Structure formats: structure tokens, C-alpha cells
Chain A
Amino acid sequence: MANNEHEHDGIDAGRRRFLTNTLRTAVGVGLVATTLGVYQRQARALPATAIRPPGAADEKAFQSACIRCGLCVRDCPYDTLKLAQLGDDVALGTPYFTARDVPCEMCDDIPCVKACPTGALDHALTEINDARMGLAVVVDQEACIAFLGLRCEVCFNVCPVRGDAITLDYQHNRRSGSHAYFIPVVHSDACTGCGKCEKACILEEAAIKVFPIQLAKGLLGKHYRLGWKQKEQAGGALVTPDQPHEYNLPEGMRYDYGGEGLIKEGAEPATPFSSNPLDTLNRKGGL
């Protein structure tokens, strides 16, 4: 009986040990997996200065497809791309570039995309001007010398999509009263995010910078309807046109809708000032 019990204990102890060991391994591996899961979420936080190669999808999709082989880096003729090393802020082993160091030269044949074995860089991208690596933003209007009224236009001139991605907006310089500002304006429908503007910016710290698109781009609410665009598309106003208002006006006055406003029939122009400045000066009571 005693012997029997002992045997029973032995079996139980063996089973207990097996279960304990299995549980221990499972819990240990579970901890590693949980940590890894949390870490990979953090690894999706791409720093603002790290730009992905052309054809890369958003960060989540990119990190499910990139196997960190570095073939895009190898086929980049300008040594623009590099692989993130342990200790960098970018997800380990993934390709990126820093525009201020070496921007993308926008090769016509896009060798980096062709080299990608998994399609993490989308092979459907065949026209480099369609690439959207990031978006240039004039981040500092206080430092950009164009906003100081000085001539620069370097970003405008180095832009590979010159005249489309960056245009110059002429504005009156009210400080000097007689000059123009040549303000660089970036257009997201043409900017590829190559970073040549950021690289070329003459400031100590660039005033125009390329950011990943999700950082650089706002999004207008879907409920907005731009009346002037809809009018253009439809060939006429879609809302009820403004009616000429009926005002209770004094005798001899009328209101001209779409014209000069309040009009006194058969009288001189509505302005109280005569075209001859001397009349105003000589008027009784003066100014």
C-alpha cells in the first residue's frame, strides 16, 4: 500500500515537473512575445527626419513587407539610402535617408524600387515624379530669407519638379513699400519629397524641410464643399443665386446688385470726394 502510494507520488511528481517546465517555458516565451509586440508598435514611430525610399507605403504596411536585405541601398547610385542600425531611431535594418545629408536624386529608372525583392517598395511605381517619399514644408517663416524680403529662391530652383512642386508667390513688401517678396509655396500634388530643397537651403538650419507625409499633410473634413470649384465643375452655381435685394430706398436711389452698390440716380459719383483735390481743400469746414 505504502509502496503503491509512493509510485503514485512518483507519477504525479513527473507529471507535475512536466507541467511546471512547460508552463515556465510558455510564460517566458509569452513575456518575450508581449514585449516584442509592444516594441514593434513603438518601432513604427518614424522620426520626422527619416524619409523612406520611393514606393514605400505607410509605415505599418512597409514594416510588414520590408525584410531588411539592403538591396535598395546597394542599387542606389548616390549612396542616399542607408539601413537603420541598432541604436538609430528608425526601425532596425529598414532603409531610409536624411534629406539634409544626402537627398534622393530621383533616378528615372528608380533602381531601388526595382531591387526590392518583396515589393515593400511598390513595383507599380514606374514614374519617379509620382513618388511621394515625403512632403516639403516651409517650416520657419521667420528664418527663411524670402520672408525677410531678400532674394533667394534656391529651393525653387533646385526642385526637380521645378515650377510645379514649389512656386513663388509674389507679395507686396509693405516694409519697404516698393519691393516684392518671393515667397516659396510647396504644392503636395507635385512634391515627391526628394529633399533637394532641404539639402540646398542656404540657412544654417534649413527653413524648408521634408517630413513624412502623415506629419506634413493636413486633411480637410469630407463635408466641406468648395463652392467655387463645384461651380467650375457644374458650369454654374449649385446654390440658389443671390437675388437683387429690394430695399426701402429714398426717392432717386437704387441698389445695383453685382455693381457699384448704392447709386443716386442722375447725380455725381457716390464718393464725397471730388476728382479735383483742391475742391476738397476749399470746401467749407475743410477736412
Chain B
Amino acid sequence: MEHGGIPGRDAVQQKGWWRANRFLVLRRISQLAILALFLLGPLAAVWIVKGNLASSVVLETVPLTDPLVLLQVLVSGHLPETAAIIGALIVLGFYLLVGGRVYCSWVCPINIVTDVAEWLRCRLNIRGSANISTSTRNWLLGAILLVAGVSGSVAWELINPVSMVYRGLVFGMGLAWGIVVAVFLLDLFVSRRAWCGRLCPVGAFYGMVGQVAVVRVSAIRREQCDDCMDCFAVCPEHQVIKPALKGAEKGLGPVITSGHCTNCGRCIDVCPQDVFEFTTRFSNSRLAVSGINPKREVSS
């Protein structure tokens, strides 16, 4: 088979359009459905969810709070009411289970913007990339907590594009469209996956939450890999794939254990050989201990 060209094309030929795009479609449905839930209230007066991603109330009872925002509040010296603390624990528990950066790929509206930028970057063949380290986001996460602590103010939320856009969509944008365009242009021209992959401290935080996440993507049939590189091409955090896919000799994998895997499932989509699959993080040890040939799980 000839490789190269647009990633995912081979998968469509091999598996059909739906199986080569289903997680992408499901993610877009998830992102838009969550936004729709927030908009149902103000637009149609159906109050299933109230508030925005910083904090919300579901069906007038269940509080949900962004744990990073609450962390900033704590660091800045305010002890929040119990509602916010319970809300943050619920959200934290959820992401500990399904993977921290599931927030990034299944919920965050900026993801749609940066995905489109990446798609266009690929189609327009834009190669140049400013050298921004992927660890910059960790530094930024530290910096925003430091600023919150020193200034006694939830300062990051004054400029956070992620919360700004969501709040804008639900409560009124103002000039926030400018920020959306800025993030888009940054990803398109300055550096590949610059915002989500290198800068965003929200992603850095959820990446840390994801260190111990239960739901994980696994290169469960990695011996079938024919090195077409499509998964690397589409993966927003492609450094996470290699240890799982190519680590057999070093005793690594096949589960992608890095917290920065966003569980977007795009690698599952685009792989013509069906190497990847959603599993739990415990598949690694189970396979290692029992020595079962992962091939047994070939889907019918």
C-alpha cells in the first residue's frame, strides 16, 4: 500500500467512512450538544444546565465546577462555599475516570477552532513552525497559579481564551471573537497545535489529572502496524503514541498511559489496520502478567 497524502484516506477505503470518522463525529456531537445544553436555557427557556463551564448547576440540583478555576480561587486566598467544592470534586472524579484531557477533545469549544486550523494547515501544506516547547503549558500553569497567589486575584480568567469563548457563547461575546481568531491564526501560521499542544495551561492541568485516568487508548494490535504514520499525523499530542505503539521491545505499552493523550480516538479512526482501541489502563498489566496475545481481541 502506498503511504502519504491526506491522513485517514486509507482508513476510509479500508473501513468505510463511518468507521474512519466515527470518533471525530461523536466528539463534535459531544462538544456541540454540551454547548446546546447551556444555550437551551437562555434561548429556549429550557433550564437543564445553568451557568457555564466555570461552574454550573444541572437540573437545579447537581453543582459542577471547573477544578482548575476553583484551585485558582483557593490559591488566591478565598475559601469557597461547599457547592463549588462538591462541584469540583464531581468534575475531578469524572475526568480521573475518563481521562483528564477528555475535556480538551470532547468538551472544549476551542478544540473545534484548533482542529480546523490544523486541518487547514495540512491542506495548505503550511510547514513553518515556531519552536515552542510542549512543556511551556506546564510553566504557564505554574505561572498562573503563582500570579493568583501573589496578587490574590483569579487573574488568569481575565484572559483565558477557553473560558472566555464558552462564556461568550452563552452570555455574549463582546470582542471575544478576536481571541478565537487569534488562536486560529496562531495554530495555522505560528506553530502546529500551538495552543492546545503547547500553551494552554487548562490542558496542562487536565493532562496532570489524566496521569491516572482509567479509560485509555491502547495500541492493542500493534503488531499489525504497517508504519503508515497516519496516527502520528492526526494525533494532537503525537509524542504519546510512540511508547505504546513501538515500545514492545522495551516492555512498554500497548496502552497509551501519558496524561496528555486526549482520548480523542482519532488514531482509532484513521488507522487502516485497526491497531488502536479504547481500553482501560489496566489492560497493560493484565497483558503483561498473563502474556495473552493481544491478537485474540480482533473484532469481528
Contacts and interface: CB of A to CB of B under 8 A. Distances in A.
A67 interface: yes
B203 to A, nearest CB: 15
A84 to B, nearest CB: 8
A41 B171 contact: no
Given A33-B146, A74-B50, A117-B83, A66 B154 contact: yes
B143 A29 contact: yes
A21 B142 CA distance: 17
A32 B140 contact: yes
Interface stretch (A57-65, A165-173, A199-207, A255-263): A57-65
Interface stretch (A86-94, A220-228, A234-242): A86-94
Contacts of B147: 33, 36-37, 40
A53 to B, nearest CB: 15
Interface in B127-161: 131, 133, 135-136, 139-140, 142-144, 146-148, 150-159
Nearest to A29: B139
A126 interface: no
Interface residues of B, number: 58
Given A85-B174, A92-B158, A64 B78 contact: yes
A85 B155 contact: no
Interface string B226-241: 0000000000000000
B249 interface: no
A69 B151 CA distance: 21
Given A37-B150, A64-B77, A67-B55, A117 B157 contact: no
B4 interface: no
Contact of A36 (B155, B168, B172, B175): B155
B2 interface: no
Q: Which of A26, A92, A115 has the most CB of B within 10 A?
A: A92
Interface in B163-216: 163-164, 167-168, 170-176, 178-179
Interface in B36-91: 41, 50-52, 54-57, 63, 65-66, 69-70, 73, 76-81, 83-84, 87
B41 A74 contact: yes
A118 B87 CA distance: 10
Contacts of B143: 29-30, 32-33, 36
A71 B55 contact: yes
A73 interface: yes
A43 B146 CA distance: 18
A116 interface: yes
A20 B109 CA distance: 34
Given A37-B147, A123-B81, A63 B154 contact: yes
Interface in A115-146: 115-120, 123
Given A64-B78, A93-B163, A88 B84 contact: no
A45 B70 CA distance: 23
A120 B78 contact: yes
A214 interface: no
Interface size for chain A: under 10, 10 to 19, 20 to 34, or 35 or more residues?
Answer: 35 or more
A117 B87 contact: yes
Contacts of B174: 85-88
A73 B151 contact: no
B81 A118 contact: yes
A28 interface: yes
Contacts of B81: 116-119, 123
Contacts of A120: 78
A64 B154 contact: yes
B51 A74 contact: yes
A68 B152 contact: no
Nearest to B174: A85
Give the one of A43, A61, A74, A87 with max B CB within 10 A.
A74
Interface in A66-113: 66-71, 73-75, 82-83, 85-88, 91-93
A67 B146 CA distance: 17
Contacts of A82: 171-172
A82 B133 CA distance: 39
Contact of A69 (B54, B135, B140): B54
Given A25-B136, A73-B171, A67 B65 contact: yes
Contacts of A21: 131, 133
Nearest to A35: B159
A71 B158 contact: no
A70 B158 CA distance: 14
A216 to B, nearest CB: 23
A30 B79 CA distance: 27
A269 B135 CA distance: 98
A196 B77 CA distance: 34
Contacts of B172: 82-83, 85
Contact of B140 (A29, A41, A93): A29
30 contacts: A24-B133, A25-B133, A25-B136, A29-B142, A36-B143, A36-B144, A36-B156, A37-B150, A37-B151, A43-B153, A43-B158, A60-B153, A64-B154, A67-B84, A69-B51, A69-B65, A73-B171, A74-B41, A82-B171, A82-B172, A83-B167, A83-B171, A85-B171, A85-B173, A93-B164, A117-B55, A117-B80, A118-B70, A119-B80, A119-B81
Given A85-B176, A93-B163, 15 more contacts: A29-B140, A32-B143, A33-B147, A40-B147, A67-B55, A74-B41, A83-B172, A85-B168, A86-B176, A93-B54, A116-B81, A117-B63, A117-B80, A118-B84, A119-B81
